[in-house]
Amino acid sequence: MRAAILRAYGEPLAVRELPDPEPAPDGAVVSVDACGVCRSDWHAWAGHGEWANDRVPRGQVLGHEPAGEVVDVGDEVDRFRPGDRVVVPFSLGDGTCPHCRRGAGNVCEDGRALGFEAAAPGAFAERVAVPAADYNLVERPEWLGATAAAALGCRYMTAYHALAERTTVGGGDAVAVHGCGGVGLSAVQIAAALGARVIAVDVDDDALALATEFGAAETVNPASLPEEDDSVPERVRDLTDGGADVSLDALGIAETCRNSVRSLRPRGTHVQVGLTTDAERGEVSLPTDWMTRWEISFVGSRGMPPTSYPDLFALIEATGIDPGDLVARELSLSEVSDRLAAMDEYEATGVEVVTDFEG
């Protein structure tokens, strides 16, 4: 099979022939019809994470947002068989630990991150192996095509878990979204679908225009703030009559994280979704006295457990939102490197999906 491999940090991926994967006894092999390209791939490709001893190893097949069809299953697999249409969450659980059994496979103690570690080769490839298939694979409804499912596979489900499960956004809430890349735009669309009034924040007017299309009621560009509200939190508090009920940092830089916390009303909830870069090295200082004074909650959120997909599918069906709307561009395997390089400059808007594995 053809696969795109990380050879050296910051250098073009090598597209090569690799042997087809075999399923483990409890695993499956999925032929990949679509796989999204995301900021996490960029972090991996750029070699971030050395400070946390968490660099993605060279030789890794990247790609963690696949949708496709099962082509082979191991002897122990009961729920799936060849021909089943599936989507694969990037945070793979072992299916047996206490967290998995409580429905939180995304924080599995023995979990694997698809496309980020040697034990879990990724899906910028014609085929991908999935361990603990009965637990991890998600059946794809008839109405969900592979490209839209790939757009849903990481950022969309991450945004859903953050807004609907780590906190409970509902009708009439004011939700601020800081950073309108893939996960931020997904959060805008989902928060609006959940009935919230959404304030989208980004330094890029094109990203804000997309956010408006996806349901943001207001937008804030820090570069062009009115004089009377000269900081992002002031502007958000002004637009929400005292602060957002929920604020989400989709980017993970110190400034957006602190701005998000400071955008909240008393007793509001900040949800951290973006991971930091080499600049913050995993730590951001926060206004803890202020957070204590106003009973602010700070919540981390990572991916989504496979067991939550039916709820997300139900929301999509009930509200008519379409994760496929986020797809800005379809790519071939050999184009991935250029698109990763473009993220150095934050050039990518919307979600880009590999759909051609022969090119």
For residue 79, give the DSSP letter: S
Among 71, 97, 209, 254, binds Zn ion (CB under 5 A): 97
Return phi, psi of residue 254, to 5°: -55, -40
35-94: contacts with Zn ion (CB under 5 A): 38, 40, 93-94
Minimum CB–partner distance for residue 36 and Zn ion (Å): 6
Closer CB to Zn ion, 94 or 245, in the complex: 94
Minimum CB–partner distance for residue 330 and Zn ion (Å): 16
d(CA 23, CA 8): 28
Minimum CB–partner distance for residue 104 and Zn ion (Å): 8
Minimum CB–partner distance for residue 115 and Zn ion (Å): 9
Closer CB to Zn ion, 154 or 244, in the complex: 154
Site size toward Zn ion, by CB under 5 A: 8
As given in the structure block, the two tokens for residue 158 are 């991450």
Q: Which residues of 295-332 are buried (b: 16+ CB within 10 A; e: fewer)?
A: ebeeeebbbbbbbbbeebbeebeeeebebbbbbeeebe
Interface with Zn ion, residue 351, by CB under 5 A: no
Q: Which residues of 187-201 are buried (b: 16+ CB within 10 A; e: fewer)?
A: bbbbbbbbebbbbbb
Binding mask 8-37 for Zn ion (x = CB under 5 A): ------------------------------
d(CA 335, CA 342): 11
Which is nearest to 71 in space by CA: 1, 148, 144?
1
Minimum CB–partner distance for residue 133 and Zn ion (Å): 14
Piece of 1-9, 97-105, 119-127, 192-200 that binds Zn ion (CB under 5 A): 97-105
Among 154, 162, 211, 284, binds Zn ion (CB under 5 A): 154
Q: Is 50 exposed, middle or buried (0-12, 13-18, 19+ CB in 10 A)?
A: exposed
Closer CB to Zn ion, 39 or 197, in the complex: 39
Closer CB to Zn ion, 21 or 182, in the complex: 182
Pairing of strands 197-201, 218-220: parallel
Among 56, 108, 321, 336, binds Zn ion (CB under 5 A): 108
Minimum CB–partner distance for residue 152 and Zn ion (Å): 11
| Cβ-based neighbour number of residue 277 at 10 Å | 18
Piece of 108-116, 232-240, 292-300, 322-330 that binds Zn ion (CB under 5 A): 108-116
Minimum CB–partner distance for residue 332 and Zn ion (Å): 19
Closer CB to Zn ion, 29 or 114, in the complex: 114
Q: First-to-last CA distance in the chain?
A: 13
Closer CB to Zn ion, 154 or 326, in the complex: 154
Closer CB to Zn ion, 195 or 300, in the complex: 300
As given in the structure block, the two tokens for residue 44 are 């991996």
291-310: contacts with Zn ion (CB under 5 A): none
Piece of 8-16, 26-34, 106-114, 240-248 that binds Zn ion (CB under 5 A): 106-114
Closer CB to Zn ion, 21 or 93, in the complex: 93
d(CA 199, CA 212): 9
With a CB cutoff of 8 Å and minimum separation 6, the contacts of 150 are 33, 34, 35, 36, 65, 66, 67, 87, 353, 354, 355
d(CA 284, CA 271): 14
Closer CB to Zn ion, 154 or 174, in the complex: 154
Kindly list the residues in this chain that would bind Zn ion in the complex (CB under 5 A). Answer: 38, 40, 93-94, 97, 100, 108, 154
